[in-house]
Amino acid sequence: MDLLNALFVIGAVILGWLLQYLFPGRDARRLAEAQERLATIEQARAEWEEKYRRLVGFTPRTQIVEYGPSSQSIIINANEEFEAFQLDYLLDDGVCVVSQNLDSHRGREAQIPLISAHVGRVQGMRYDPNSGVAHIRLRVRVRVLDAEHEVLIPARIENVLVGNAVHRKVIG
């Protein structure tokens, strides 16, 4: 696609010069200038079209992994490069309880650690004493090609007994 656009631009410039040489009048110069402007506009349009195609095609895949009783992370894989800049801990109805700014999470994959204290705060607000479960959402804000997106992860918090200690586990 880019090669075709480049050939179009080169062809338009050559045609403009040829018309200017064959018809040295004022109208020919105007026509040549208009064709050069048209070629520049066409190239810019093709670049924007490619950027839009990549932006619309952004598809993240998420997973919550556990590294130990109290250490968990969100892993995001995507087909385009992105920058994760904020993690929000939400109640199941979308109300934000805690926000966490993120540093250095850029690329096609990001590993974002969950903070146990933040998970506990959300669980404390929506804990069901009958089932022992708190339904939550995690929202990761990302930038893709200078546009912001939200990656929502529905999850639940469960209490897990490890030895004599109770740990929170986020499952999503």
Contact (Cβ atoms closer than 8 angstroms) between residue 122 and residue 136: yes
| Statement to judge: residues 159 and 90 lie in one domain | yes
| Statement to judge: residues 41 and 11 lie in one domain | yes
| Statement to judge: residues 42 and 104 lie in one domain | no
| Statement to judge: residues 33 and 95 lie in one domain | no
| Statement to judge: residues 113 and 129 lie in one domain | yes
For residue 150, what is the DSSP state?
Answer: E
Above 60 in pLDDT, residue 1?
no
| pTM as predicted | 0.66
Average of per-residue pLDDT across 40-59? 75
| Statement to judge: residues 67 and 139 lie in one domain | yes
Q: How far is CA 120 from CA 15, 29, 170, in A?
A: 69, 72, 10
Above 80 in pLDDT, residue 53?
no
Give CA 107 to chain center in angstroms. Answer: 10
Q: How far is CA 44 from CA 2, 34, 68, 147, in A?
A: 11, 15, 51, 19
**Which stretch of DSSP H or E encloses residue 61?**
strand 60-68
The closest alpha carbon to 88, from 124, 142, 141, 133, belongs to 141
Q: What is the CATH number of the domain that holds 80?
A: 2.60.40
Given 33, 56, 79, which residue is the final one in a domain?
A: 56
What's the structural domain count of the chain? 2
User: Which pLDDT tens digit goes with each residue over 106-131?
Assistant: 889 999 999 988 988 988 887 777 77
